[in-house]
Amino acid sequence: MLQKIDYFLKRHSKKLVLTMMSFVLAVSLLNAKNDGATYDEVAHIPASYSYLSEHDMRLNPEHPPLLKDLAGLPLQFLDLNFDTTHSSWTTDNVADNQWNAGRKFLYGSGNDPDRVIFWSRVPFILLALALGLFIFRWTKEIASIPAALLALALYAFNPNVLGHNHLVTTDLGIAAFITFSFYYFLKFIKQPSWKNVFLAGLFLGLLQLAKFSSVIAFPVFFLLVVGYPLIKKTKPERKKIGEFFEYVFKGFLVFAVSIAAVWALYAFNTSGMPVEVMNDGINHYFKANDSNIKTIYTRKALFAINEHEILQPLGEYLFGVARVFQRVAGGNVTYFMGEVSNDAKASYFPLVFLMKEPLPILVLLFFTLAVVAKESFFSLTHSFKRSARENITLLREFLHSRITETALLSFIIIYSFVSITGNLNIGFRHLFPIFPFAYILLSKKIFSYRRKDHHKKNFINVMIVTMVFWLIIEAVASYPYYISYFNQVAGGPSSGYQYVTDSNADWGQDIKRLKTYLEENPRIDKIRVNYFGGGDVNHYLGEDKVISWWDARRPVENGWYAISVLFIQESLHDERKSVEENYSWLKKYSPVAQVGTSILIYHVTDIK
């Protein structure tokens, strides 16, 4: 039976991959068309266009340009208006210009915002497809075709992935380039040819150009460079020293190639940017009167680099890196488990992971962890019966034969630790970089265990098939509410906002659905709107229909209200706000409708 299943999967693997990728493509295109602009896209999209049209990175410099260049590429063929005389381009400070430019570009320049948003999202869908195929390919290389199909299914049918793979943000992009970079770096480690040095360096550069958090991968890459030649079997042993220095030298060249790639793309994107623009950014974020020692030396370094034309592209890169560290240290106001705070909680990512990751994936994950724990226990028990020399030899052989698994697991551990202990709790999406590695390792381990333990093979087969079908049902049933996906334990997409908001539940994706709701309910002639997101309320709903509202606005009026769940939760649970400043008056009313999952509709009729 086991052989028949594997034979079927191998024989029809191409058709199965095509089916899964077709599902991802179809759903992603529909979401790209129907989801409203999310909050961050208002900043990313105008930056995407201007990087290529103006060769100027004054908008959104806190992210590298690669992903925005991809988003901006199709926009260059749409004959769009981009007003470089507007204050967002000429006089607004760097903190506000990206948002003002986004609103102007999308809703105030005569462009069709839905067309612009859709086409800027298409490259991200293609990148998501490429990542899926890469996950399949890599798992196939280190495990088997059945394991590769499982890894791809976990990725392709994950509602969280489907919720973000079409957005002009950095989250799925960094996951893709982390995967590509690790793959080619490990090829270099296993075979340090000049070709692999170049490929590893190129993809390391692309990784750095995707998102600044890519620096978390550097400790793993460093350990691979200095550690692998020490555990690698080299005969005779006297060649180890020479091989070690060869790895160190070529590892340095990999890094040098990556820096050259970073410099080249930044030079291309900043060739039209006056040097004063970056100086203004430095002065805004790293103020001269700030006595913090980090700020003082950051200012000095950035200004020194910016004085030399050849170094200016790297100066812009380092400015972005410094901004990210500054922002992470400052935190971000968010609602989580009944509290509003900008101080991170160590429980945030573990709990959000358990609430948002689909239950079938959690079942497979916990099963895999149990298997690993069992095998580790027996290995540790046997190690006490061996000498220290034998244990070291076996450990060295294990690491050498499992270098890929060790590298991927090391990154998962480091990235998870940094995420949990960091001070930026604004979304489950920040865990996306570890997803491909987790699915690859999980799939490999399950099928490896199935092959070893013949007594449990039928149970494992049934478990895999059941979990995959369950996951497919989850993906189909939760369409199109993927951004706000929560598993059954957390109450599903419509209830998850009770525990956590921001990009986990409400990012502004339902503005078009609110428009449809109002069209289907013509009795609503006026509606008070408090919307969180990147859509323009007046553009979609009409100025004559909308009354702008917020939690502290008084007096409360009879009539219709449309309020984003993020604003409700942050208002009700912010202890700094008094009863006269928050939405406590909403507690006595039940919403008459839930638009999408992120906007609640209220009808108030008893105010006198």
Q: How far apart are CA 222 and CA 220, in angstroms?
A: 5
pLDDT (0 to 100) of residue 352? 96
> Token pair of 505, please?
């539940």
pLDDT (0 to 100) of residue 377? 85
Q: Domain coordinates of the chain in residue numbers? A: 1-136, 275-330, 347-477, 502-604
Nearest to 467 by CA among 358, 388, 547, 565: 358
Quickly state the pLDDT bin for 583 (edges 50, 70, 90).
very high
List the 593-595 sheet strands across, edge first.
546-548, 527-530, 559-564, 599-604, 593-595
Instruction: Calculate mean pLDDT across residues 414-437.
Output: 90
Quickly state the pLDDT bin for 39 (edges 50, 70, 90).
very high
> Token pair of 168, please?
């002009």
Q: Could you read off the pLDDT of 121-130 as tens digits, one per residue? A: 999 999 999 9
Q: How far apart are CA 157 and CA 476, in angstroms?
A: 8
Instruction: Calculate mean pLDDT across residues 151-167.
Output: 98
Q: Over 90: is that where the pLDDT of 32 sits? A: yes
- The DSSP line for 502-534 is GGGT-SSTTHHHHHHHHHH-TT---EEEE--SS
Q: Over 70: is that where the pLDDT of 219 sits? A: yes
Q: What is the β-pairing status of strands 334-336 and 339-341? A: antiparallel
pLDDT (0 to 100) of residue 600? 98
Average pLDDT, the chain: 92
Q: Could you read off the pLDDT of 45-73 as tens digits, one per residue? A: 999 999 999 999 999 988 999 999 999 99
Instruction: Calculate mean pLDDT across residues 535-561.
Output: 96
Quickly state the pLDDT bin for 2 (edges 50, 70, 90).
low
Percent of the chain with pLDDT over 90: 75
Q: What is the β-pairing status of strands 546-548 and 599-604? A: unpaired
* Locus of tokens 């992470």: 328
Quickly state the pLDDT bin for 567 (edges 50, 70, 90).
very high
> Token pair of 516, please?
């449809």
Quickly state the pLDDT bin for 239 (edges 50, 70, 90).
confident
* Locus of tokens 């280190």: 142
Q: Could you read off the pLDDT of 271-322 as tens digits, one per residue? A: 999 988 888 888 888 888 888 888 888 888 999 998 888 999 999 999 888 8
Q: What backbone phi and psi angles, to 5 degrees, belong to 555?
A: -80, 155
Q: Could you read off the pLDDT of 341-384 as tens digits, one per residue? A: 888 889 999 999 999 999 999 999 999 999 999 888 888 887 77
Q: How many Cβ atoms are within 10 Å of 504's Cβ, its own excluded?
A: 29
- Residue 223's Cβ-side half-sphere holds a number of Cα atoms within 13 Å equal to 15
> Token pair of 456, please?
């449990």
pLDDT (0 to 100) of residue 235? 60
Quickly state the pLDDT bin for 330 (edges 50, 70, 90).
low
Instruction: Find the length of the chain.
Output: 608
